Amino acid sequence: MLKKWSKGWGNYRSLALIVLTPVLLLPLPLAIMTKEAECAFVLLLMAIYWVTEAIPMSITAMLPAILFPMFGFMKSSNVAKEYFKDFHILLVGIICLATSIEKWGLHRRIALRLVTVVGVNPGWLILGFMSGCAFLSMWVQNTSAVAMVMPIVEAVLQQILKAKEGCGGEDNPTLQLDGTWTHRLLWFPYMCAEASPPGAPSRGKQDLMMCKAMCLGIAYASSMGGITTLPGTSPNLIFSEIYPDCDSINFGNWLLLCLPISVIMLLLTWIWLYWYFIGSDTSWLIFVMVLFFPVLTFSSHRGYITDATVALLLGLLLFIVPAYGLSRKYEAMISWKEFQASMPWTVALLVGGGFALAEGSKESGLSLWVAELLTPLGELPVLATITIACIIITTVTQVASNAATITIFLPILSPLAEAIHISPLYVLIPTTLCASFSFLLPVSNPPNAFVFNYGYLTVMDMVKAGFGVNVIGVLVVMLVVATWGVPLFSLDKYPEWAPILPEYNSTTP
C-alpha cells in the first residue's frame, strides 16, 4: 500500500504542487486584501514553482504578466516592458561570440595548448585545465564551457592511465601534440568507451583521486570564471538591471572587482583539491601569474552607449566577417540557424520574469513594507548583515538554480539595504556572486551534474570538497568587496540613484 502511494505521489507530484501551492497561499491576498499581500502571493508562488520546478522555469517567469494585471497594480503593457531590456541585447551579442567559439574550435585550441605547456604533472595539469575552463566560461555559459573541456580532459586522463598501465603502444610522457595525436586525442573518449569505462577496477587509488580532483576542478572553475564578467552567468546579468540608474555597474568595473576574486578562488580551490584528493607529499611550487587582459569598454556615463551596445556590435560583425579567404565561397563566421540553436531563451524569459517581479514589488509597496520590517537589522554591523545574507544565498543555491535564487532574493535584499541606509551594491554584489557558488551537490547546477556523469565521483566526494570551496568563496568575496570593492564602487556612501526611505528623507543633519 505504501509503495502504491509513493508511486502515485511520484507520478502526480508536479500536478499536486501546481494545484495545491496557490490554494494554500490564497488566504494571504484574501485575508489581508492589500496590494502588498497580493504581490507577496505572486512572489511566494513563483519562488515555490522555481525551487520545485513543478512547471518549466521560463513559464513560471511569465506569471507576473498574468497575475499583476489581474490584481490591478500594474498594467499589462508596463509588465511587458520588463521582459525585453538592455540585458537581452547584451545576451544576444554574447551568445553570438559563444556560438563562434564553439563552431571554430577555439576551445579545443586553448585546452590542447594548455596540455603542451603544463605536461602531465597532476598538480599543474589540474591547474591548467581549471584555468582554461575558467577563461572559456567568462564568455560562454558555464555548462557549455564544461561540455567543451570535459571530453578533452577525459581523453587526456585515459591516455595517462593507459600509459601507466603499459598498454596502447609507445609511452609519450610529455603528451606531444602532433597532428595525428591531436586527432586521436579528440576522438579517444569515443574509441575507448567500452574498453576503459570510467571507474574501472584496474585504476589505482592515486589515479582515481587525480580523476576526481580534475573533474571537480573543471566544474568549480566554470562557476569561478562565470562570475568574472557581467554576461558570464545569469545572476550577474539579473543583478545588473536591478538599479537601471546606477552607472557604476558596467563591464569594466565588474571585471576589475571580480577578476581578483576569480583568480584567488581558483588558486585556493586548486590547492584545496590537490591537498584533499592527491595529498601534499611533494613540496609546494612557488609561481607568479601575470595576467594581461586588455579590455575595451565604452563608458556608460554619457547615458547612451552601454555594454549591450558593444556586445551587439560584436555579434553583428560575426554575421558579416568572412570565415575564409577570397579563394573559397563566402561564409560568415556564424549563421542565424547556429545562433538560434545556441540562444538560451529560457534564461531570457527567466530574467524578464525577475525584472517584472522586482518592478511589481516596487509598484505594490511590498518593497517598502519589507524595508520597514528589516530596519532592526541596521543595529548589526554592516559586514555581519552582509555575511548572513551571503550564507543564506549560498545555502539556498545548492538546491535551487542560480538564476532563480538571485531572482527571488533581489527584491528582498534591495529594500534591506535601503532600510539600513547603506549602498545597495554593498549587499547585492557579494550576494549575487554567492548565488553562483553551487558546489555542493550534483544537482546544484548543470556543470556539477555533467562531470558527475563521468563516473569518477561519489556524492560524498562532491559534498566534502564543495563545502570547502563554498567557505573559500564566501571568505574571498567578503574580503575583496570590503577592501577593493569599497573605493571602486563607493560602497561607503549612500548613492544618489538609490531611493531614500521616508525616515531618512529629512533636511536635518
Nearest-CA neighbor of 258 among 134, 418, 117? Answer: 134
pLDDT in tens, 134-154: 988 887 777 777 877 887 787
pLDDT value of residue 202: 40
pLDDT in tens, 322-371: 776 556 778 888 888 888 887 877 777 877 777 787 778 778 877 677 66
pLDDT value of residue 239: 83
Largest CA distance in the chain: 83
Q: Which residue has the cell 502588498?
A: 36
With a CB cutoff of 8 Å and minimum separation 6, the contacts of 356 are: 61, 64, 65, 68, 79, 82, 83
Nearest-CA neighbor of 406 among 202, 203, 235? Answer: 235
Instruction: Please name the residue ranges forming H helices in 104-250.
Output: 106-118, 122-137, 142-164, 179-191, 205-226, 234-240
Strand partners, 332: 322
- pLDDT band for 282, please (50, 70, 90 cuts): very low
Mean local confidence (pLDDT), 380-394: 88
- Residue ranges per domain, the chain? 86-282+299-340
| Residue 358, C-alpha cell as written in the block | 522586482
Task: Kindly report which listed range (128-132, 279-283, 309-313, 498-502) carries the lowest average pLDDT score.
Answer: 279-283
With a CB cutoff of 8 Å and minimum separation 6, the contacts of 95 are: 315, 339, 342, 343, 344
Residues written for the chain? 509
CA 152 vs. chain centroid, Å, equals 22
